[in-house]
Amino acid sequence: MITTVRSTVVPADTFAIKTLPRLRRPSSVCFSQGFRFDLDRKMDLIGKFGEGCFFMVRPTKDSLSQGEVLFDPASVEAKVPPQHLVIMVNGIIGSSADWKYASEQFVKMLPDKVIVHRSECNYSKLTLDGVDLMGERLAKEVLFVVEHWPDVKKISFVAHSLGGLVARYAIGRLYEHQPCYSNDNEGRIAGLEPINFITFATPHLGSRGHKQLPFLCGLPFLERRAPQTAHLIAGRSGKHLFLTDNDGTPPLLLRMVSDSHDLKFISALRAFKRRVAYANVNYDYVVGWRTSSIRRQHELPQPNLLMKDKKYPHVMYVEQGNLKHINTKIETHAIDLEEEMIRGLNEVPWERVDISFHESSQRYVAHTTIQVKSYWLNSDGADVVLHMIDNFML
């Protein structure tokens, strides 16, 4: 049995990064009215009302939601409970429900290994607030969750679309250098050992440039106009995606490919044992293949290299993680920014998994099918979720 618990809304300023008191055990969940709900009582109710019991309080723009936690009750109550926390992050105009199918598969397949938390501090119009503000909210939410699951030792992130950029910002805030560890990945995220950082159709290089926003059909005059109007549709997030937030400082996405004095973006990525980028080869009209797979045009796999796997029919190509330091001639300012981001992100190795729904009736919604946002609409992406879980490092 999988249990879903939706915890409450609390004021955002209740939390301070790295300063929350540590709870001895996950004894309670706080509700906005000040009510404390004992988890032992919660388990009794689960037994009475059955699978899928949950509690819901919708967040507001000026609050922080703790989202949904999925876990196997028997495993949590076992002598050795699950020690791996998986944080799932939605994309633009999304919610925690976007990862419902994938989170349930995680717990079904790895019931004694993982606790899955579907973030909800950034949902609906809150996703227009900008990558930095959303990243700060996510970081605070992660700290809250870690405090309430003191047995967890490891942490992984799984994010879709814009959520991948938000997660990259959040881990930069949550990164802690730990020189006492002997391995190369010296560092902790929210005090935990970072294992997997996985993105699905994330615009790592932004949406600016040739065919990075596919629904513009690669038409030059539309691509030139898009950065000037993106903020009218997508708010501050649009400015970040189109790299137009350079008001006296480099664009945020450019700053996020290196470390600064207080935000260790690249060190945080390096601390993970795996970094994986799932990318749609075609039919994704929101995020281009190059930006989601962090590649230059000539690095994309040729059609003759794409192949089908019987177990994962929509997985076309898997490139194991390796470092790339390829010097490319820079011709324009737009390419200059993109090239700098590629070089920065490739300072750490990435696994790249190329997905194609070319023969699927759901190909025209590939951007959401890749994560199975809604099973009835995106069920063909189930093998992609299975591929992620089968290859998940515990």
> How confident is the prediction along the chain (394 residues), in pLDDT tens digits per residue?
666 655 443 333 332 222 233 333 333 233 222 223 344 433 443 333 333 333 233 334 444 445 778 888 888 888 788 999 999 999 999 999 999 999 999 999 999 999 999 999 999 999 999 999 999 999 999 999 999 999 999 999 999 999 999 999 999 999 998 766 545 557 999 999 999 999 999 999 998 887 787 756 665 656 566 666 666 677 899 999 999 998 789 999 999 999 988 899 999 999 999 999 999 999 999 999 999 999 999 999 987 778 878 899 999 999 987 765 444 444 444 458 999 999 999 999 999 999 999 999 999 999 999 999 999 999 999 999 999 999 999 9
Quick check: 105 and 166 in contact, CB under 8 A? no
Asked, for residue 336, whether it belongs to a domain, the answer is yes
Asked, for residue 54, whether it belongs to a domain, the answer is yes
Query: In the chain, how many domains are there?
Result: 1
* 333: three-class secondary structure by DSSP: helix
Q: Which residue has the tokens 């059909």?
A: 217
User: Where residue 33 sits, what CATH number does that domain have?
Assistant: 3.40.50.1820
CA 243/CA 240 separation, integer angstroms: 5
Quick check: 115 and 76 in contact, CB under 8 A? yes
Q: Could you tell me the residue range of the domain that residue 156 belongs to? A: 3-206+250-390
Asked, for residue 94, whether it belongs to a domain, the answer is yes
Asked, for residue 240, whether it belongs to a domain, the answer is no
User: Longest Cα pair distance anywhere in the chain, in angstroms?
Assistant: 66
Length of the chain counted residue by residue: 394
Name the residue among 232, 235, 213, 240 with its Cα closest to residue 224.
213
Asked, for residue 9, whether it belongs to a domain, the answer is yes
